[in-house]
Amino acid sequence: MSVFSGMSRPMKAAGVVLIGVAIVAAVIGGISALSGDNGANEAGPSGTSTQPGTSGGPSTPPSGTTSTATPPTSTSTSPAPPTSPGPGQPGQTGQPGQTGQPGQTGQPGQPGQPGQPGGDQQASNKWVTLRVFNNSTIKGLAARAADDFRGAGWNVVDVSNYSQGIIPATTAYYRPGTDEEAAAKQLAAEFGFKAEPRFEGIQSASPGVIVIVTNNYESGHKGS
């Protein structure tokens, strides 16, 4: 007996349509099942694989293939360790105890060597100019005194007479605060007379130590 027996014609037509629809759906489902595996590996919108967990990441080469990527090679080189100087290398010259060490020149107590206290200063004082004037009753006393001073190394530039007053004793006069002061005191100590600052009458006289000799002047070097 047919499944459509006892049905009206319209019902039979509807049944046929339903069966046809079911058959078409079954056919489409089978085709989809057969092609499901191939569709999973199709490229996505950006052209990359759409498999889960692989989106946007680097592609993994298939098993059995060899990667050709070569890891970068470092080109930096470690500096060579310093080499300690061996025999004969720089650093051996000028060791303590060798000849020529500083401090050997000009040691105190050695005569004539640089650095001897007072030596240079006393020699330079003798180059200060001396002007010798006679204020005595002895003719030529200033010239005789000048010769004594020159014989001791002093720089006498003028010999004359002083007649503006009476000087009580032979004296070397200087301008305070100048190099004349040290020179006058050194000269007076060598020849045994006084050294004093210039007085009013000779304040404007020419530069240099002014020595006014009187009757008490005695020729000869008096200093030790």
Residue type, 159: V
Note the pLDDT tens digit of each residue in 149-196.
999 999 999 999 999 999 999 999 999 999 999 999 999 999 999 999
Whether residue 72 is predicted with pLDDT greater than 70 in this model: the reply is no
Are the CB atoms for 164 and 133 separated by under 8 Å? no
Alpha-carbon distance of 186 to 179, in angstroms, equals: 11
Note the pLDDT tens digit of each residue in 17-65.
778 777 877 777 766 666 555 544 444 444 444 444 444 444 444 444 4
Other Cβ atoms within 10 Å of 132 Cβ, number: 27
pLDDT at 87: 47
Whether residue 197 is predicted with pLDDT greater than 90 in this model: the reply is yes
Alpha-carbon distance of 221 to 102, in angstroms, equals: 39
pLDDT at 29: 73
Give the SS3 label for residue 17. helix
Are the CB atoms for 107 and 113 separated by under 8 Å? yes
Pairwise pLDDT comparison (97 vs 206), residue with the higher score: 206
pLDDT at 21: 75
Sketch the domain layout of the chain as residue ranges: 124-213
Which helix (H) or strand (E) is 173 found in, with range? strand 171-174
Other Cβ atoms within 10 Å of 35 Cβ, number: 9
Alpha-carbon distance of 65 to 67, in angstroms, equals: 7
pLDDT at 82: 52
DSSP state of 43: B
Q: What average pLDDT does the chain have?
A: 72
Phi (first) and psi of residue 188, to 5 degrees: -65, -35
**Residues 6 or more apart whose Cβ sits within 8 Å of residue 199:** 173
pLDDT at 223: 58
Pairwise pLDDT comparison (5 vs 140), residue with the higher score: 140
Other Cβ atoms within 10 Å of 121 Cβ, number: 11
pTM above 0.75, yes or no: no
Note the pLDDT tens digit of each residue in 104-158.
444 444 433 333 445 688 898 999 999 999 999 999 999 999 999 999 999 999 9
Please give the angle made by the CA atoms of 128, 121 and 191, to the nearest 5 degrees: 60
Q: What percent of the chain has pLDDT over 90?
A: 42
Are the CB atoms for 145 and 217 separated by under 8 Å? yes
Q: How many helices (H) and strands (E) does the chain have?
A: 4, 5
How far does the chain reach from its first CA to its final CA, in angstroms? 172
DSSP state of 127: T
pLDDT at 44: 41
Mean pLDDT, to the nearest integer, of 70-97? 48
pLDDT at 171: 98
pLDDT at 222: 62
Domain 124-213 maps to which CATH number in 3.30.70.2390, 3.40.50.720, 3.20.80.10, 1.20.1260.10? 3.30.70.2390
Strand 194-197: give its sheet, edge to edge.
155-161, 129-134, 209-213, 171-174, 194-197
